[in-house]
């Protein structure tokens, strides 16, 4: 911090480090100082907004994220944070609109999709979750097969298939596993020929069955 050649960069990354370690007030202090010393930058306002959001100060978080978005309309984190601010303030439609815009800019930006699902769960929109799950499974077979070989020898999906698989897992985790949903999950398995996706759905079903009385549920499933 005392070295003139590194001071500004150190301020910014120290703010990130404070945030990652849960020291949000320290993050706010150093990032505000960084703006005074280095000037206005979208990323700094976004980080300030995220720190304020973690502190529960939605108004200040919204102010800085709006500034970030005004400076850089493609800042996905700023849009995600704004969606969270609106959601925490009870402005559901505004939150969903912000998250939709983030996903329009980058369909692979999963935090926006996760927050959208969380909002639907809290609003009791279980039908939306089930319909979204069906839609994601239905399109999976027709998506591009883009994969890379990692250093450990494992194959990892990238692009649209990887995004869709993440969405399927998120939706399965959010779906209340009542008897009706269990039966519907069995039907969803037949919407794809991909064994990995079929196994993901089947595993979600089995995990719920392991928590319930299998003898009581088996006749309903059959």
pLDDT of residue 153: 59
Block means of pLDDT (10 residues each) for the chain, length 222 residues?
88 94 96 93 94 93 94 94 92 94 92 96 90 92 66 59 90 77 79 90 81 53 49
How many other C-beta atoms can be found within 10 angstroms of the C-beta atom of residue 119?
A: 20
CA–CA separation, 138 vs 87, rounded Å? Answer: 29
**Residues with Cβ within 8 Å of residue 46, at least 6 apart in sequence:** 64, 65, 68, 75, 77, 78, 81
CA–CA separation, 96 vs 83, rounded Å? Answer: 7
End-to-end Cα spacing for the chain:
67
pLDDT of residue 126: 87
How many other C-beta atoms can be found within 10 angstroms of the C-beta atom of residue 65?
A: 29
CA–centroid distance for 46 within its chain: 17
In the block, residue with structure tokens 């996905």? 76
pLDDT of residue 150: 56
In terms of phi and psi (left: phi > 0; alpha: psi -120 to 50; beta: otherwise), the region of 178 is beta
CA–CA separation, 197 vs 160, rounded Å? Answer: 14
pTM above 0.85, yes or no: no
């Amino acid at each position: 911090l005392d070295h003139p050649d590194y001071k500004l960069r150190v301020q910014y990354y120290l703010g990130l480090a404070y945030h990652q370690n849960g020291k949000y007030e320290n993050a706010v202090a150093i990032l505000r100082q960084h703006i005074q010393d280095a000037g206005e930058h979208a990323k700094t306002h976004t980080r300030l907004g995220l720190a304020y959001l973690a502190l529960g100060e939605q108004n200040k978080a919204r102010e800085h994220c709006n500034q970030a978005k005004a400076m850089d309309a493609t800042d996905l984190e700023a849009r995600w944070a704004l969606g969270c601010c609106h959601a925490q303030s009870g402005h559901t439609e505004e939150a969903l609109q912000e998250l939709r815009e983030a996903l329009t800019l980058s369909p692979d930006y999963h935090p926006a999709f996760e927050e959208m699902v969380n909002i639907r769960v809290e609003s009791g929109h279980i039908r939306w979750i089930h319909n979204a799950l069906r839609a994601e499974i239905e399109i999976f077979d027709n998506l591009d097969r883009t994969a890379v070989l990692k250093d450990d020898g494992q194959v990892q999906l990238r692009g649209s298939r990887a995004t869709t698989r993440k969405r399927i897992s998120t939706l399965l985790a959010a779906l209340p596993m009542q008897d009706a949903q269990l039966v519907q999950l069995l039907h969803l398995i037949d919407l794809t020929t991909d064994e990995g996706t079929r196994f993901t759905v089947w595993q979600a079903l089995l995990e719920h069955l392991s928590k319930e009385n299998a003898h009581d549920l088996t006749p309903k499933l059959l």
